[in-house]
Amino acid sequence: MDGRREDTPQGTAPYGTAAHEAAAPYGTAAREVTAPYETVAHEAAAPYGTGVAVREAGPGDAVSGVRPRWVALPESTGEVAALLRHAAAHDLAVVPAGGGTKPHRGLPPERCDLVVGTGRLDGVLEHAAGDLIVRVLAGTTMETLAAVLAGRGQRLCLDVPAGGATVGGTLATAEAGPLRFRYGTARDLLIGVTVVLADGTVARSGGKVVKNVAGYDLGKLFTGSHGTLGVITEAVFRLNPVPPARRWVVAEPAVSGSPSCSPSCSQGSALDTLAGLLAASPAEPSAIEADLPGPGREPSLAVLVEGTAAEERARAVRDLMDGHGPARVTDEAPAWWGVPPGEETLLELRFPPGRAGGALRAVAAGVLPARVRGSVASGVLRAGLPSGVAPPEFAGFVTSVRDGLAGLGGRLTVVAAPPALMTAVDPWGPVSALPLMRRVRERLDPGRRMSPGRLPGGI
């Protein structure tokens, strides 16, 4: 990996007629798939003949309600490159897809001709256990990767929710779990990446590469890009040893004497105070998470302590928490740990650490009942809303919470919602980096073929 841009060699395929040959995509001459074409234009644009397994799309392949024409299942970076070269030649809009675990994430694409599924880009390519580094294909599930690493006593500290999420999907959506407090997010743990750009160019950066492609840190650019810059095919991560012991310190309720759990109560400020003490504690917790179930229910706080002398350090944390409410030490995480507070409709609140109280008051002012969960110490909370919320109510709630967070220096993003709700608001809200994002998009995908319209400002 030397920071170069590569074009995968193109083979020559035997096509039946001169007209067919003129329109056909030249990729890797492998297996050829045939299918009936409805029109000449359809025949010319269809990605059959690229050497990649392709099928007609069905209703279940829709991306946020937009149905593609084809679904391709490449097995290598070279096959992804062949598909994207063909898409560029025929101006096809491409949407990468991972494990399909986040069907309501992001705005619907403006158009979607071809879904590139990464499920067959599966496997660990290299595990340099002595260097604490792993190189893995993007379609590998996070559970599979965790199992392979655990066999050598190591782990990737991206504790995203289980359920089939892939490495590429985790990077594209910038997912991170409770361990973000101690170890950071994907941007901090990713040290190398291989991507295929919109024109079919293969680019690598990070890892052993000294100079990144065209001056860009592709790993940071593609993390959180939602498939708008290209397709991630490989990733290289920095690992950590599996700790010899883990203990959770759980307080239920988190703040003694608090009234019933309404985000408008004073418990948010009390949680801020307690989280600040815990974050600065010599016990060095790995994660500090809160769960606020909603009106009429008490809040919970859980702290993870890992490594050497975990039991003794956990007791020290318990003693610190006992001054605010009863706490207990356990070797099992609470049932809500690392689980999103909602699946169908999910919002993310970001704010400066120490301002959770204000963030919770902003949620309460939005009227709709919300379950809030996340890291008060890191300034990242997620709110889940019940099903059946009407678009006008949802839009009013989002606007109200955003107004409240703005005074804290925070922001709200709609992470997931049914299409009717997602299109009722701007899911991203104000984004100060929008001009820079536009320039990057114009540089890497000037034709706007990769997941067009899914990022802020219709990028």
Please give the pLDDT value at position 38.
45
Among left, alpha and beta (phi > 0; psi -120 to 50; other), residue 106 is left
State which fold the 346-422 domain adopts.
Answer: Alpha-Beta Plaits (3.30.70)
Pinpoint the residues of the chain covered by CATH 3.30.70.240.
Answer: 346-422
Please give the pLDDT value at position 103.
63
Report in angstroms the alpha-carbon separations of 230 from 79, 149, 328: 14, 28, 47
Beta partners for residue 127, in sequence order: 134
Q: Which residue has the tokens 């005074």?
A: 407
Report the run of H or E that residue 415 belongs to, with start and end: strand 411-416
In one-letter notation, the amino acid at residue 398 is: V
Please give the pLDDT value at position 13.
35
State which fold the 1-242+431-459 domain adopts.
Answer: 3.30.465
Please give the pLDDT value at position 42.
59
User: Is the previous residue joined to 253 through a cis bond, with omega within 30 degrees of 0?
Assistant: yes
Could you read off the pLDDT tens digit of each residue along the chain, which spans 459 residues?
Answer: 444 444 433 333 333 333 333 333 333 333 333 333 344 455 678 899 899 999 999 999 999 889 999 999 999 999 999 999 999 999 999 999 988 777 667 788 999 999 999 999 999 999 999 999 999 999 999 999 999 999 999 999 998 876 889 999 999 999 999 999 999 999 999 999 999 999 999 999 886 443 344 557 899 999 999 999 999 999 999 999 999 999 999 998 665 544 334 444 455 678 888 899 999 999 999 999 999 987 767 889 999 999 999 999 999 999 999 877 789 999 999 999 999 998 889 999 999 998 998 999 999 898 899 999 999 899 999 999 999 999 999 999 999 999 999 999 999 999 999 889 998 999 999 999 999 999 999 999 999 999 999 999 888
Cβ neighbour number for residue 113 with a 10 Å cutoff: 20
User: How is residue 257 written in tokens?
Assistant: 């004497």
Pinpoint the residues of the chain covered by CATH 3.30.465.10.
Answer: 1-242+431-459
| Burial annotation 44-62 (CB, 10 A radius, 16+ → b, else e) | bbbbbbbbbbbeebeeebb
CATH 3.40.640, applies to 246-330: no
Chain centroid to CA 393: 27
Please give the pLDDT value at position 251.
92
Please give the pLDDT value at position 349.
97
Return the SS3 of 144: helix
Cα angle 446-441-219, degrees, rounded to a multiple of 5 = 130
**Contact between residue 411 and residue 356 where contact means Cβ atoms under 8 Å apart:** no
Phi, psi dihedrals of residue 345, rounded to the nearest 5°: -130, 115
Give the number of C-alpha atoms closer than 13 A to the C-alpha of residue 86, restricted to the C-beta side: 32
Return the SS3 of 413: strand
The rounded distance, in Å, linking the Cα atoms of 280 and 258 is: 24
Q: Which residues contact 412 (CB under 8 A, 6 or more apart)?
A: 347, 348, 349, 350, 398, 401, 402, 405, 429
User: Which pairs count as long-range contacts for 331-337, CB under 8 Å and 24+ apart, including other chains?
Assistant: 331/246, 331/247, 331/248, 332/248, 333/248, 333/302, 333/304, 334/248, 334/250, 334/291, 334/300, 334/302, 336/291, 336/300, 336/373, 337/178, 337/248, 337/289, 337/302
